[in-house]
Amino acid sequence: MHNINYIRENPTEFDNAMKLRGEEAISSKILEIDKIKRETQTVLQNILSERNNLSKEIGNLKSKNKDAKELIAKVEELKIKINSLKELENIKESELNSILTRLPNIPHKSVPNGKDESDNQLYREWGSKPKFSFNPKLHYEVGENIGLINFENATKLSGSRFVTLKNQISRLERSIANFMLDKHTEENGYIEYSVPFLVRKESLYGTGQLPKFGDDLFTAGDDHWLIPTAEVPLTNMCREEILSQNQLPLRITSYTPCFRSEAGASGKDTRGMLRQHQFTKVELVSIVEPKHSEDELERMLNCAESILKDLNIHYRVMTLCTGDMGFSANKTYDIEVWLPGEGKYREISSCSNCRAFQARRMNARYKSDEQNKFVHTLNGSGLAVGRTLIAVLENYQNEDGSITVPEVLLPYMGNIKVIKKS
């Protein structure tokens, strides 16, 4: 949600920011509605004051057994005006919220301008592309060839964009998730939470998925929605809260399934596990004071990167351009892992600073110098477990079709060093 005071004071700057996000210049419409609303509020307050004064006069007259019919009639007339003004105020408030809740966050000044992912900028990279003495296979070819990944069974059960994993591949997925959680909690300073996988619409509104992106979500009915990411329950734990300053920074993590309809993904990545209706992810969330949020974004990025470094998998970090950022983000880094089977980089994590955008929607604040101020919220994948599994399968595959287990995962795999056809 945007600060209306900022729009009043900086209409041109706001319009320019929205244009960078692919939106039309809309400040004039917003300010027109806001003006009517505020004028209505002023008139309403004056009439309420007049009514109160008349009510006092009526009371005085009645106490003296004097006739108050004329004043009572005036109060009744004022009641009609008051109800009419309140209705107009509510209408304008609704119109204003309808616009503001659908507008994306303002991009940070350091975010590159651009229309889509082709305009993203390289921030840094780590490691180097692996070399193979054979033509590396795609992840689903690796898994299907050893009989441990099955899409046909999943389609029979649930339709397209689902998968079943078996035996050691299933264990490998679980091992990756446990390794990530241990890394983030024991070394990176995050507190682990187990959270609900179903949330109410207020939570999705708070983080920005609703009302604009309802088509990307699954609903379970009775005002329950399946979470698209653990960002939603984790961030919303501070909704309608006033945190103390010594509670910040708050760094929390959770491992959950994620559910997405992929409404805009028709025809994209139809083979394999890259784009699924259901996948798992270890999510990182930070709640911080505003002055620390930019540094916290860099810290979160480093924490996410540390997973791939320990796995010894080559990746690069991209700064997303204005046209490629998520709705709630002020600035985003994408970590893109190298997939040798596919011969391209693929996103495996997005780390975003939302500043006060989500906090305003959630009314999430902290007490500073006896004042209540909005916190800044950040979120990032640390990492997407399914895509990390894909990266391991493609980067650690062998010519005979087996998969070498990364050294850091051996304790989680019962020291199984190689996954072969079962």
How far apart are alpha carbons 42 and 31 in whole angstroms? 16
The amino acid at residue 328 is S
Residue 345: φ, ψ to 5°: -85, 145
Residue 60's pLDDT is what?
A: 86
Q: Which of 13, 217, 40, 18 is nearest to 99 (CA)?
A: 18
| Straight-line distance from the first to the last Cα atom of the chain, in angstroms, rounded to the nearest whole number | 53
Catalytic residue among 347, 360, 368, 402: 347
Catalytic residue among 161, 260, 355, 365: 260
Residue 161 appears among annotated catalytic residues: no
Query: Is residue 322 predicted with pLDDT exceeding 80?
Result: yes
How far apart are alpha carbons 219 and 197 in whole angstroms? 11
Catalytic residue among 175, 203, 349, 350: 350
pLDDT band of residue 69 (cuts 50, 70, 90) is: confident
User: Which pairs count as long-range contacts for 210-215, CB under 8 Å and 24+ apart, including other chains?
Assistant: 211/101, 211/102, 212/101, 212/102, 212/327, 213/327, 215/261, 215/263
Residue 21's pLDDT is what?
A: 96
Residue 294 appears among annotated catalytic residues: no
Contact between 211 and 286 (Cβ < 8 Å) = no
Query: Is residue 290 predicted with pLDDT exceeding 80?
Result: yes
* Region class of 43: left (phi > 0), else alpha (psi between -120 and 50), else beta: alpha
Residue 124 appears among annotated catalytic residues: no
- 135, two tokens: 């033509």
Residue 139's pLDDT is what?
A: 97
pLDDT band of residue 390 (cuts 50, 70, 90) is: very high
pLDDT digits (tens, 9 = 90+) for 32-57: 999 999 999 999 999 999 999 998 88
- 220, two tokens: 């379970």
| Average pLDDT across the chain, whole number | 95
Whole-number CA gyration radius for the chain: 27
Catalytic residue among 200, 275, 316, 360: 275
Domains and CATH numbers, the chain: 4-100 (1.10.287.40), 117-419 (3.30.930.10)
Query: Is residue 273 predicted with pLDDT exceeding 90?
Result: yes
* Region class of 349: left (phi > 0), else alpha (psi between -120 and 50), else beta: beta
How far apart are alpha carbons 273 and 336 in whole angstroms? 16
- Alpha helix stretches (DSSP H) within 189-328: 201-207, 231-236, 293-311
